[in-house]
Amino acid sequence: MKLQAVLFDCDGVVVDSEPATFDLLAENLGQHRLILSHAEMEHHFLGGTIAGVYDKARAMGAPLPASWVSDFYEALYERLAAGTPLVPGIATVLSALDAAGIAYAMGSNGTLRKMQITLGQHPQILAHFAGRLFSGQDLGMLKPAPDLYLHAAQVLGADPRACVVIEDSGTGARAARSAGMRCFGYAPGGADPSLTDAGATLFSDMADLPALLGL
DSSP string, the chain: ----EEEE-SBTTTB--HHHHHHHHHHHHHHTT----HHHHHHHHTTS-HHHHHHHHHHTT----TTHHHHHHHHHHHHHHT--PBPTTHHHHHHHHHHHT-EEEEEESS-HHHHHHHHTTSHHHHHHTTT-EEEHHHHT--TTSSHHHHHHHHHHT--GGGEEEEESSHHHHHHHHHTT-EEEEE-TTS--HHHHTTTPEEES-GGGHHHHTT-
What is the residue-averaged pLDDT of the chain? 93
Q: Does residue 30 carry a pLDDT above 90?
A: no
The residue extents of the domains of the chain are 5-16+85-212, 18-81
User: What's the pLDDT tens digit per position in 89-105?
Assistant: 999 999 999 999 999 99
Determine the pLDDT at residue 182: 97
pLDDT band, very low/low/confident/very high, at 117 (cuts 50, 70, 90) = very high
Determine the pLDDT at residue 26: 83
Determine the pLDDT at residue 192: 86
Q: Is 186 exposed, middle or buried (0-12, 13-18, 19+ CB in 10 A)?
A: buried
Which of 46-50, 78-82, 90-94, 112-116 has the weakest average pLDDT? 46-50
Q: Does residue 211 carry a pLDDT above 90?
A: yes
Mean pLDDT of 167-180: 96
Q: Does residue 47 carry a pLDDT above 80?
A: no
Q: Which CATH number fits domain 5-16+85-212: 3.30.460.10, 3.40.50.720, 3.40.50.1000, 2.90.10.10?
A: 3.40.50.1000
Q: Does residue 46 carry a pLDDT above 80?
A: no
Determine the pLDDT at residue 61: 83
Q: What is the dihedral of CA 128, 210, 157, 149, to 10 degrees?
A: -90
Cα separation, 161 vs 157, whole angstroms: 12
Q: Does residue 51 carry a pLDDT above 90?
A: no
